[in-house]
Structure 1
Amino acid sequence: MRVISGEYGGRRLKAVPGTNTRPTTDKIKESLFNIIGPYFEGGSCLDLFAGSGGLSIEAVSRGMDTAVLIDKDPLALKTIKENIEMTKESKKFTVYRNDANRAIDLLRSKQQTFDLVFLDPPYLKQEIVNQIEKLITGNLIVDKGLIVCEVEKKVDLPDNIQTATLIRQERYGITKIMIYEIEAGEKNDE
């Protein structure tokens, strides 16, 4: 695994030891960023199931200002921190040990917003629709913000989840990437 492009391009990333995480392959990561970027002019990203931190590190390497990485696995958190050290810009990254749903509540209380959200949960423990709804209801995603979901190829998510509209999906072997965009001007007033 490596950072594909940008400021940290070519640097190696460590994988989480064991079989509890499923890293996004370099091929999928490169294709994904060619679709959603490939480069950014600032902004903030959130990775609710960060694993090794590879997606968020790639996003910051390609121009995002900051990234918030969430994971509850101690081995994943250790790997994320080691991979962030490789960037030599740890101030751009915030790491929380937390469950994704509790993390959404925490971020809402901090009134943080994100331009890009990665949802790559374990295939057997997916609550993606519920989590997207919580992110939208909590006003955590900016207008025109993107949500990138990595799911097993047989999983079908709805075309619309509240104000999020499916704009693209691609299959890569057993993996399917589904990209949603938040409609402008459709904020919730909770």
Structure 2
Amino acid sequence: MKTNLRLIGGKKLQSPNNSFTRPTTLKVREAIFNILKNRVEDSNWLDLFSGTGVVSCEAYNHGASKIIAIEKNKINSKICLENLLSLENTENRINDIEVICKDVLKWTKPNYERNLSSRYIDLNNLKFDFVYLDPPYNVDFHELVLNQLFNCNILKKDSIVICEHSPNLFIKKSTLWETIDVRDYGQSRLTFLINVQHS
């Protein structure tokens, strides 16, 4: 287990001894939370393809009230939970954090029974303020997952969906979402989306 992964502020996190995970870089994480500022406080945060949970941990440290992380790899989902539980005061907030070892493509389907995968949180009634979507760069799951996300009942009218992807990829226009910002940081691009019915 490697421990060279660090949060904003310097806390070390665990990461697996393999090359299959690609944690969001510190530079990109700093950019995200500088852009979102205090809007993260008391928000509900959904982390899709969460890997070792570095973005979920940052959201927790920036005041998110509930955090759901979805990661289908069993080793990574276990590390993700351990990383989240290593943060300050998580022992008193165990009912606010959930790491679910499921396939994102299945979990985001509109007719999927999400509540069956949760131990603590009523996912039938929870809507998210922020969704972070970060599939592997070598596959293009964005359009499929986004179509499912914006067609199911887990977003608020003013939710923001943040996609991390290769600069070579452009998120296509849709009748479901609107692009409000695009930022490039080296080998990563962030695309910020909102529901077109947000007003």
TM-score, normalised with respect to structure 1: 0.86
Counterparts of 2:191 and 2:175 in 1: how far apart (Å)?
16
Please name the residue that 2:130 is paired with.
116
Match of 1:58 in 2: 58
Distance in 2 (alpha carbons) for counterparts of 1:185 and 1:165: 10
Task: Please tell me whether the aligned partners of residues 56 and 84 of structure 2 are also in contact (alpha carbons under 8 angstroms).
Answer: no
Give per-residue Cα distances to partners, 1:111-138, cap 9 Å, x unaligned. Answer: 4311000110011222111211111111
The one-letter code matched in structure 2 to 1:163 is L
1:93 to 97, 116, 139: 97
In 1, Cα distance between equivalents of 2:113 and 2:53: 20
In 1, the alpha carbon distance for the partners of 2:185 and 2:41 equals 28
Match of 1:177 in 2: 190
How far off is 1:110 after superposition?
A: 2.3
Identify if the C-alpha distance between structure 1 residues 144 and 176 changes in structure 2 by more than 3 Å, giving closer, same or farther.
same
Matched with 2:144 is: 130
| Letter matched to residue 59 of structure 2 | A
User: Which stretch of structure 1 is more off in the superposition, 139-148 or 175-184?
Assistant: 175-184
1:3 and 2:7 are equivalent in the alignment: yes
Shift of 1:75: 1.7
Counterpart of 1:83, as a letter, is N
Residue 102 of structure 1 deviates from its aligned partner by 1.4
- Give me the whole-angstrom Cα distance separating, in 2, the residues matched to 1:175 and 1:138: 27
- Sort the Cα spacing of 1:28 and 1:21 in 2 relative to 1 into closer, same or farther, 3 A: same
In structure 1, the partner of 2:119 is none
CA RMSD across the alignment? 1.9
The unaligned stretches of length 5 or more in structure 1 are: none
1:164 aligns to 2:177 (yes or no): yes
Distance change (3 Å), C-alpha of 1:36 and 1:79 = same
Shift of 1:139: 2.1
Matched residue of 1:179: which SS? strand
Give distance in 1, aligned partners of 2:152 and 2:39.
27
> Mind listing any 5+ residue stretches in structure 2 that lack a counterpart?
116-122
Alignment of structure 1 residues 19-98 onto 2, 5 Å? 19-87=19-87, 88-89=89-90, 90-98=94-102
How far does residue 72 in structure 1 lie from its aligned partner after superposition?
Answer: 0.8
Q: Distance in 2 between matches of 1:80 and 1:168?
A: 28
Q: One-letter code of the match for 1:167?
A: I
Q: State the partner residue of 1:14.
A: 14
Corresponding residue for residue 164 of structure 2 = 150
Q: Which residue of 2 aligns with 1:106?
A: 113
Q: TM-score, normalised by structure 2?
A: 0.83
Q: Aligned partners of 1:59 and 1:38: how far apart in 2?
A: 11
